[in-house]
Structure 1
Amino acid sequence: MGLEKRTVKIIVIVFFTLLVIGCILGLVLGLVLHRRYVELEVWPRSDEYNWEQPRIQFRPSDPGSWHHWYRRINEFLRAYETTVPDEPPRAPCSTHNRRDQQMRSDNCDLAMRMWAPCTADEFYGYHIGKPCVFLRLSHIHYWVPEPYNMSMPMSLPPEMPEHLKHAMHQYPARQYGDYVWVSCGGEFNSDEENIGPIQYIPAGLPPGFLMSRLHTADRIPYSSRHLPDQIPAPLVGVFFENPRRGLLINVECRIWTRDIYYDRSSRVGRVRFELYID
């Protein structure tokens, strides 16, 4: 009888021990698993897109070498076409070049001017060797970003680019809302010397993604988190003003929030690609 009681006691202890371990593992996974989902996408990309070597190569003087990139961007942006763009516009509202004599609404014309030179009107800069790429966040339905802003007492990472620190002062959260900040630069020191100046488009807005437009876990019901967004996610355009030609330039873009920990060996919150302009 005593043996049976001891056996039952052991079983109960083992059961509750496993239950506690399971709860702890669930909590830990709940805290870290969402970070696995946060990805930063770059467009254009080829059909053979390879995260390790996603090369964008072209010769400005040869339309045949860059027209497929122009076409790929148009295909990507087609989901954003509208005659009544948001304010501010989340993307260029038309994939038609003005040379096509395409009629546009006044609101769309204004939006296209805000996104210049990252528009079809300017061939996204590829015809003059000053290309644009577009960034978009994906797999964020299980993520609640913790933003950096100047209204909260917190220390900024020492490696944060100065232009982002300046932007936080220039665009305070109480007036412009919280942002998931974005920066791009050369992946290595040699790339920094060759990448040239970078603009974030639309100009005149914070360089990043307005959090109120992101369908993060705090904005959608749990039952809908596995479903695709009905409204395309906002974009950030990155315009390379004067990248050096004839050299391979490794580019890295990343997002900045307090809960994303930068790791060059990880894909979380960062993306890389290569520019080669003949």
Structure 2
Amino acid sequence: MGAEHRTVKIVVIVVVVLLVIGGILGLTLGLLLNQRYVELEVWPRTDDYKWEEPLIQFSPSNKGTVYPWIKRINDFLRPYETTIPEDPPRAPCSIHNREEQQIRSNNCEMAMRVWAPCTIDEYYGYTMGTPCVFLRLNYLHYWVPQPYNVSSSLAIPTEMPEYLKQFMIQRPAQMFGDYVWVSCGGELNSDKENIGPIQFIPAGLPPGFPLSRLHTADKIPYANRNLPDQTPPPLIAIFFENPRREVLINVECRIWTRDIYYDPYSRVGRARFELFINN
């Protein structure tokens, strides 16, 4: 009996130790995954990109300062090139300007109109001082978003922009599917005054990413989560209609889902960049 009693105690101790170790490992993995939980990327960006100070600076009248940004956008959009874009198109389908006499399919021509003015045909607005900045989500393979929609009984945050609430009403999730909603604006009060009006492109579509096009953790086998997507994730663009020049503008964009707690000092689900347009 004594030997059996000791054996039971040993088994219990081993089980408890394993549970403790498992809990510590789970917590550690949770913290590590939270660092790459979901990232809202900003493009274009420089080779020495820093999240804390991602500056986009150029002078519309100086081609030497404009074309490096156009090239960076073209390099970024190259994987999205296609002659048969989806409907609605997930990105501009060509990085070749009409002036280059590039032959496009009718579908691609229509897609480029949908994405105007954030296309190479208009040099992404940089030659006019009205730049486009592209956003996309990264680290989706580790994330199962919990979207906001009007059909849920859970309250929508009061601080959510009114235009997002209106889109939820106009495009109910039961008919159009759920979205990871996106908002952008000036980071500080002075930035809100200087940023001017902005548009989300494609215009007329909800400002956000449709869940049906996101390869999130609930849609892929666990073994494939470290593998790259065969299809690049969808984009949205911010078009700055009339930003003030000779002033540094801090821009903040964030995603809205029930599972992400907004923290102005965190990178999770949030992006920021600085815009400075010289005369």
Fold conserved (TM > 0.5)? yes
- Corresponding residue for residue 150 of structure 1: 150
Q: Distance in 2 between matches of 1:64 and 1:190?
A: 29
Alignment-derived partner of residue 240 in structure 1: 240
1:40 pairs with 2:40:
yes
Question: What residue in structure 2 maps to residue 71 of structure 1?
Answer: 71
CA deviation digits over 1:63-82, x for unaligned, max 9? Answer: 11111000100010010001
Query: Deviation of residue 32 (structure 1)?
Result: 6.2
Mapping of 1:211-222 within 5 angstroms?
211-222=211-222
Query: What percent of counterpart residues are identical?
Result: 63
SS of equivalent residue, structure 2 residue 272:
strand
Q: Describe the shift of the 1:30–1:59 C-alpha distance in structure 2 as closer, same or farther (beyond 3 A).
A: same
Q: Quote the Cα distance in structure 2 between the aligned partners of 1:249 and 1:60.
A: 16
Structure 2: which 5+ residue stretches go unaligned? none
1:157, distance to aligned residue in structure 2 (A): 1.3
Deviation of 1:174 (Å): 1.7
Determine the structure 2 residue equivalent to 1:195: 195
Measure, in 2, the Cα distance between the counterparts of 1:154 and 1:32: 26
Offset at residue 152 of structure 1 (A): 1.1
Q: Any idea what SS the aligned residue of 1:253 has?
A: strand
2:136 is aligned with 1:136: yes
Calculate the TM-score normalised by the size of structure 1.
0.94
Q: Which residue of 2 aligns with 1:17?
A: 16
Distance 1:34 1:166 in 2: 33
Aligned residues: 277
Which residue in 1 is equivalent to 2:275?
275
Distance 1:152 1:31, change over 3 A: farther
Q: Secondary structure at the match of 2:231?
A: coil
Distance change (3 Å), C-alpha of 1:34 and 1:150:
farther
Deviation by residue 1:106-151 (Cα, 9 ceiling, x = unmatched): 1001000000000000100001111001001011101111000111
After TM superposition, give the deviation of residue 161 of structure 1 in Å.
1.1
1:94 is matched with 94
Structure 2 partner of 1:182? 182
2:258 corresponds in structure 1 to 258
Alpha-carbon distance, 1:59 to partner: 0.6
- Deviations along 1:137-189, whole A, 9 cap, x unmatched? 01110111100011111111122111111111122112221100011111111
CA–CA distance in structure 1, aligned partners of residues 164 and 35 of structure 2: 24
Paired residue secondary structure (1:141):
helix
**In angstroms, what is the RMSD of aligned CA positions?**
1.8
The one-letter amino acid of 1:274's match is E
Distance 1:170 1:276 in 2: 35
Q: Is the 8 A contact 1:34 1:143 kept in 2?
A: no
Measure the CA separation in 2 of the matches of 1:39 and 1:82: 26
In structure 2, what residue type is equivalent to 1:59?
Answer: S
3-state SS of paired residue (2:265): coil
Q: 2:229 maps to what in 1?
A: 229
Once the two structures are TM-superposed, the CA of residue 236 in structure 1 deviates from its matched residue by 0.6
Aligned AA for 1:172?
P
* Cα deviation, residue 7, structure 1: 5.7
Conservation of the 8 A alpha-carbon contact between 1:35 and 1:143: no
Letter in 1 for 2:54: P
Q: Aligned pair in 2 of structure 1 residues 32, 146: CA closer, same or farther (>3 Å)?
A: farther
Q: TM-score, normalised by structure 2?
A: 0.94
Unaligned runs of 5+ in 1: none
How far apart are 1:35 and its partner, in Å?
3.8
Aligned residue number for residue 249 of structure 1: 249
- 1:35–1:151 CA distance, 2 compared to 1 (3 A): farther
